[in-house]
């Protein structure tokens, strides 16, 4: 599903040993959940950017569903990401001026394929997801800015999952949540990913969460280590 081979990436102007990624081999099967951990600044977000096709490796390949991101031109990469990848950030996931429902529907506006995969139409699918993440329907028409951080993260999860993308990427989505909310969110996210059959790559430095995942990947160990198969 997700394949990385001989990846070399460095940010422009990065020094020799920081801001660089070199990963020999990494592959994830469809429907698996992976926990990616490592200290701050080790390149976790960068690796997610590469997986989502927002960043492109200088050499080697990162391919999703057998398609190397680097082989696609910019516009096609964006379209493919819209079709196959859902993203959740640490915070500030939502456009504050759109309603909760419109935020969830955003991927369908950019990807007709995602919209088609929604059973019963995008709006019904969005409402169903919001219900499943436990957001009371009185909040659906409210602007996203009116929600608490915990509620916003649940809306973000619903948005990442709408149209059942093959890959869901989550960049420390629980770091702004307290313990109770965090556990509730984790259960919800993992359950929804399994239900949709989506592969999940979850980044965190909180290793207590690791037990809930199928696979555990330490980025410092992966980086510049050849031939490691996860």
Partner 1 sequence: MNGLLHVAVRSAWNRRGTLALVVLSIALATALLLGLERLRSDIRSSFSQAVSGTDLIVGARTGPVQLMLYAVFRVGGATHNISMDSVRAVAAHRAVSWVVPISLGDSHRGHPVLGTTPEYFTRFAYGDRQPLVVSQGRAFSGTLDGLYEAVLGAEVAQALGYGLGQRITLSHGLGDVKGELAAEHADKPFTVVGVLARTGTPVDRTVHVSLQAIEAIHLDWVGGAPLPASAGLKIAPEHARKFDLEPKQVTAALVGLKNRVAVFNVQRFVADYEPEPLLAVLPGVALDELWTAVGLGERALMAMSGLVALVSLASLVAVVLAGLNERRRELAVLRAVGAGPRHVLVLLATEGALVTGLGALLGAAAAALAVVLAGPWVQERFGIALQATAPTGEQWGLFGAVLLAGMLASLVPGLRAYRLSLADGLSPRT
**Which residues form the interface with partner 1 (CB under 8 A)?**
12, 45-46, 48-49, 52, 54-55, 74-75, 77-79, 81-83, 87, 89, 92-98, 102, 106-107, 109-111, 159, 171
* Contact call for residues 202 and 36 (beta carbons, < 8 A): yes
In angstroms, give the least distance from the CB of 49 to partner 1. Answer: 4
- DSSP class of 197: T
Closest CB to partner 1 among 95 and 225? 95
Residue 68 has phi, psi (to 5 degrees) of -70, 125
In angstroms, give the least distance from the CB of 93 to partner 1. Answer: 6
Closest CB to partner 1 among 22 and 170? 170
Q: Quick one: tokens of 221? A: 């160990």
In angstroms, give the least distance from the CB of 131 to partner 1. Answer: 21
Strand partners for 199 = 167
Between CA 139 and CA 40 the distance in angstroms is 35
Closest CB to partner 1 among 55 and 135? 55
Between CA 60 and CA 201 the distance in angstroms is 20
In sequence order, the 6+-apart residues with CB closer than 8 A to the CB of 207 are: 37
* Contact call for residues 156 and 88 (beta carbons, < 8 A): yes
In angstroms, give the least distance from the CB of 52 to partner 1. Answer: 6
Closest CB to partner 1 among 52 and 177? 52
In angstroms, give the least distance from the CB of 80 to partner 1. Answer: 9
Q: Which residues of 73-92 are buried (b: 16+ CB within 10 A; e: fewer)?
A: eeeebebbbbbbbbbbbbbe
- Helix, strand or coil, per DSSP, at residue 74: helix
Closest CB to partner 1 among 75 and 227? 75
Closest CB to partner 1 among 29 and 92? 92
In angstroms, give the least distance from the CB of 138 to partner 1. Answer: 21
Q: Quick one: tokens of 127? A: 């409402």
10 Å Cβ neighbour count for 197? 10
Query: Would you say the C-alpha torsion 14, 54, 86, 139 has a positive or negative sign?
Result: positive
């Amino acid at each position: 599903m997700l394949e990385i081979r001989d990846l070399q990436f460095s940010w422009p102007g990065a020094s020799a040993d920081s801001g660089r990624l070199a990963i020999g081999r990494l592959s994830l099967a469809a429907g698996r959940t992976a926990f990616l951990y490592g200290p701050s600044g080790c390149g976790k977000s960068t690796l997610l950017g590469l997986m989502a096709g927002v960043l492109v490796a200088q050499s080697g390949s990162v391919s999703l569903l057998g398609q190397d991101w680097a082989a696609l031109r910019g516009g096609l990469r964006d379209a493919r990401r819209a079709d196959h990848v859902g993203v959740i950030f640490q915070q500030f996931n939502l456009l504050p001026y759109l309603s909760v429902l419109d935020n969830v529907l955003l991927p369908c506006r950019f990807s007709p394929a995602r919209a088609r995969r929604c059973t019963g139409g995008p709006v019904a699918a969005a409402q169903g997801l919001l219900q499943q993440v436990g957001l009371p329907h009185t909040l659906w028409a409210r602007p996203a800015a009116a929600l608490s951080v915990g509620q916003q993260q649940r809306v973000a999860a619903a948005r990442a999952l709408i149209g059942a993308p093959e890959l869901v990427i989550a960049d420390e989505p629980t770091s702004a949540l307290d313990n109770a909310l965090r556990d509730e969110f984790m259960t919800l996210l993992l359950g929804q990913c399994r239900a949709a059959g989506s592969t999940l790559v979850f980044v965190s430095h909180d290793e207590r969460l690791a037990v809930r995942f199928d696979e555990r990947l330490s980025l410092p160990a992966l980086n510049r280590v050849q031939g490691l198969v996860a």
